[in-house]
Amino acid sequence: MIMNGLPNGLYFQVVEQSAIATSITDLSANIIYVNPAFTRVTGYQPVELLGQNQSLLSDKKTPTVVYQALWSRLQQKKNWSGVLVNRRKDGTRYLADLTIAPVLNDQGEVTHYLGMHRDVTELHGLEQQLLNQKTLIESVVNIAPMAIAVLNDKGKVELDNLAYKALLADFKNREPAHLILDQLKIDVLPQADSKKKDFTALEVAIDQGGKKKPRWFSCSGIWFDESDERAESFFERNKARHLLLVISEITGLKAHEHAVRCNTMRTILAKQEVVQSLREILNGAAYQLQVPVNVLSAVTNMLKQREDKGGCNSSMLEALDQALDSGRKALATLDSSKPTILTEAPVDVDLNELLRDVIALSEERVSDMGVVIDWQQFEGLPTMKGQQWQLRGALKQLVDNALDAMTQVDGGHREIQLKTELCDDMIKVHICDSGPGIPDELRRSIFEPFFTTKRGESSAGMGLPTCQSVIREHGGMIWVENSILGGICMRLQFPLVDAEKQG
Ligand code: FAD
């Protein structure tokens, strides 16, 4: 007999040979048929099962509510699918992924139940292992002090930890990963594949806006491929690039480093200042002594000529000679007393960087005095060959002078404008202040040794002459002009050509 185009008995053969444990029961779940796969899974021979209730397989670990749900579905003539804990003939447990379907007759009445199940113990074990590992990884990642995020190749954060979420809140929902990657100029989009290299401990400063100081982060990134989970990719094994980004905050460390660096700079500059001032003072003193010695020398020579003509008394000449000799000796002593200048090899100097250092060194004073610093740095300013400590000291002197000048003005707006620029093949630096300014008649004198308007304030008047010597030694110039801020502008320029040649 042929049924629906199928040979008679084909259904039975199909069920018999099926790899799925299949059973047919009456309405009370008493077994009337099992296939060989059922025997393989449960360990029971058909003869041991026929007439027995399916509950024979129950391990009694499945909650009653599950059976109630199962039977409730069956009574509604609906299929039921779920997982039960079963026990084999040898007593071992297994998880049965079971589907039960009511079998209806022509009148639509349920006459039997068809049960099909497979052992999913191993699969469940793997799923649980995976879940456990996931839970473990998530817990570890979550308690990690550093912020961790995984980004897909569209730049979307697919996974993050608590520290990252905290960072997100701190940055008012601006995605921290994007802020950091933008700073690092790292592209997550697929077309930038060739540039996708892992990176370690790259330091980034993120501006917090307003008057808040930037926060510093050390960032590492690892690119990895994640297999596409979709069915259509089962045979193609499509992979999508992801970036694991690990962000550690180092603001505290940076502040400490900054403080140590500032202290070191202060120590070096203070030592250098003492040496330079002493040298300038001795130079100035020698210069002032040189004038009477020169006069004495001229007078002595003149008298000697007269003596030749019999017009001068030799004892007077002797006295003058002695005085001249003492003067020369004093000059030699002054010269030999000059402390040796700290030797410093010329290096590539970035004047922007030196000015930044100077601002950092003056930070506390600037804030105490309520001074606004308008810092206009020329982006990409070329470096020049020079003695960085000498130049740093000179720039600090000029900024200190501007701050000193502003203390002489009570109240009002206090501002220092620092500007670097590159023009006419010159690197130029402008340091302008809103101080009281310098009267025209004094402008020539301010670069002279011992000239000071701050008498009685422990000022030797050697600051500007020292600055000028340093700048001249670097082939540069310094001069003073009026500032639109109300005070003066110290203008410095250094030849770029020399710097390039030397470089
Ligand atoms: P039971 O007293 O048998 O039943 C527990 C609850 O189920 C009761 O509270 C009752 O409300 C409900 N219930 C039981 N029988 C009926 C019924 N005839 N009509 C309405 N409600 C009922 N169980 C397994 O543990 N493992 C299996 O592999 C398995 N395969 C099955 C295959 C088929 C085709 C069918 C129809 C049932 C299968 N069952 C299986 C269910 C099984 O028949 C039992 O219901 C179950 O094992 C619970 O048995 P029990 O003796 O612990 O409790």
44 and 62, same domain (yes or no): yes
pLDDT at 314: 75
pLDDT at 503: 42
Q: Which atom of ligand 1 is nearest to the CA of 28?
A: 18
Q: Whose CA is nearest to atom 38 of ligand 1?
A: 54
Q: How far is the CA of 11 from the centre of ligand 1 (A)?
A: 27
Report if residue 126 sits inside a domain. no
* CA-based nearest residue to 321, from 290, 305, 299: 299
* CATH code of the domain in which 245 resides: 3.30.450.20
DSSP code, position 477: E
Between residues 489 and 275, the one the model is more confident about: 489
Report if residue 72 sits inside a domain. yes
pLDDT at 70: 97
CA atoms within 13 A on the CB side of 194: 0
365 and 494, same domain (yes or no): yes
**Mean local confidence (pLDDT), 144-165:** 93
Is residue 308 predicted with pLDDT exceeding 70?
no
Q: Whose CA is nearest to atom 49 of ligand 1?
A: 55
Q: How far is the CA of 55 from the centre of ligand 1 (A)?
A: 6
Domain total in the chain? 4
Last residue of a domain, one of 78, 106, 121: 121
Report if residue 133 sits inside a domain. no
Q: How far is the CA of 53 from the centre of ligand 1 (A)?
A: 8
Report if residue 132 sits inside a domain. no
Sign for the pseudo-dihedral over CA of 428, 431, 432, 438: negative
Q: How far is the CA of 58 from the centre of ligand 1 (A)?
A: 8
Residues within a 6 A CB radius of ligand 1:
23, 25, 28-29, 53-55, 57-58, 62, 64, 67-68, 71, 84, 86, 96, 98, 100, 113, 115, 117
Report if residue 130 sits inside a domain. no
* CATH code of the domain in which 391 resides: 3.30.565.10
Q: Whose CA is nearest to atom 48 of ligand 1?
A: 55
Report if residue 137 sits inside a domain. no
Q: Which atom of ligand 1 is nearest to the CA of 60?
A: 52
Q: How far is the CA of 56 from the centre of ligand 1 (A)?
A: 9
Is residue 191 predicted with pLDDT exceeding 80?
no
Q: Give the lowest-confidence range in 31-35, 238-242, 479-483.
A: 238-242
Enclosing domain of residue 406: 347-501
Q: How far is the CA of 15 from the centre of ligand 1 (A)?
A: 23
Strand ranges inside 311-440, DSSP E: 347-349, 372-376, 384-386, 415-423, 426-433
Report if residue 139 sits inside a domain. no
pLDDT at 85: 95
Residue 381 makes CB contacts below 8 A (sequence gap 6+) with: 350, 351, 352, 420, 421, 422, 427
- Contact in structure between 403 and 463 (CB atoms under 8 Å): no
Residue to substitute in 24, 58, 86 for testing ligand 1 pocket (most ligand atoms within 8 angstroms of CB):
58
pLDDT at 307: 67
Residue to substitute in 59, 71, 100, 117 for testing ligand 1 pocket (most ligand atoms within 8 angstroms of CB):
71
pLDDT band at 502 (very low <50, low <70, confident <90, very high): very low
Q: Give the lowest-confidence range in 288-297, 304-313, 336-345, 417-426.
A: 304-313
pLDDT at 499: 44
Q: Give the lowest-confidence range in 192-201, 209-218, 237-246, 433-442.
A: 192-201
pLDDT at 236: 77
367 and 495, same domain (yes or no): yes
Q: Whose CA is nearest to atom 42 of ligand 1?
A: 55
pLDDT at 371: 94
Between residues 36 and 337, the one the model is more confident about: 36
**Mean local confidence (pLDDT), 357-370:** 92
pLDDT at 500: 47
Rg of the Cα atoms in the chain: 46
**Mean local confidence (pLDDT), 135-146:** 91
Instruction: Give the burial class of 59: count Cβ atoms within 10 A of its Cβ; 0-12 exposed, 13-18 middle, 19 or more buried.
Output: middle
Instruction: Give the burial class of 137: count Cβ atoms within 10 A of its Cβ; 0-12 exposed, 13-18 middle, 19 or more buried.
Output: exposed
Is residue 149 predicted with pLDDT exceeding 90?
yes
Last residue of a domain, one of 337, 355, 374: 337
304 and 359, same domain (yes or no): no
Number of Cβ within 10 Å of residue 446's Cβ equals 19
Residue 276, SS3 per DSSP:
helix
**Mean local confidence (pLDDT), 45-52:** 97
pLDDT band at 50 (very low <50, low <70, confident <90, very high): very high
pLDDT at 207: 86
CA atoms within 13 A on the CB side of 405: 25
DSSP code, position 145: S
**88-114 tens-digit pLDDT:** 999 999 999 999 999 999 999 999 999
Q: Whose CA is nearest to atom 23 of ligand 1?
A: 55
Range from 98-107, 259-268, 280-289, 481-490 that averages highest in pLDDT: 98-107
pLDDT at 280: 76
Between residues 478 and 238, the one the model is more confident about: 478
261 and 358, same domain (yes or no): no
333 and 376, same domain (yes or no): no
- Give percent of the chain with pLDDT exceeding 90: 62
Q: Which atom of ligand 1 is nearest to the CA of 96?
A: 28
**Mean local confidence (pLDDT), 262-291:** 85
369 and 457, same domain (yes or no): yes
186 and 268, same domain (yes or no): no
168 and 39, same domain (yes or no): no
| Average pLDDT value for the chain | 89
pLDDT band at 312 (very low <50, low <70, confident <90, very high): low
Is residue 318 predicted with pLDDT exceeding 90?
no
Cα separation values, 248 from 36, 144, 181, 182, Å: 61, 10, 14, 17
Residues 3, 452: Cα–Cα separation, whole Å:
120
Q: Whose CA is nearest to atom 29 of ligand 1?
A: 54
423 and 294, same domain (yes or no): no
pLDDT at 309: 62
**Mean local confidence (pLDDT), 457-472:** 77
Q: Whose CA is nearest to atom 46 of ligand 1?
A: 55
Q: Whose CA is nearest to atom 51 of ligand 1?
A: 55
- Contact in structure between 237 and 227 (CB atoms under 8 Å): yes
* CA-based nearest residue to 83, from 112, 36, 30, 93: 93
pLDDT at 168: 95
Sign for the pseudo-dihedral over CA of 210, 215, 221, 227: negative
**400-441 tens-digit pLDDT:** 999 999 988 877 889 999 999 999 889 999 999 999 998 888
pLDDT at 2: 55
- Give percent of the chain with pLDDT exceeding 70: 93
Last residue of a domain, one of 121, 155, 190: 121
Three-class DSSP labels, 219-251: EEEEEEEEECCCHHHCCCCCEEEEEEEEEEECH
75 and 157, same domain (yes or no): no
Report if residue 138 sits inside a domain. no
Residue to substitute in 22, 55, 59, 114 for testing ligand 1 pocket (most ligand atoms within 8 angstroms of CB):
55
pLDDT band at 193 (very low <50, low <70, confident <90, very high): low
262 and 383, same domain (yes or no): no
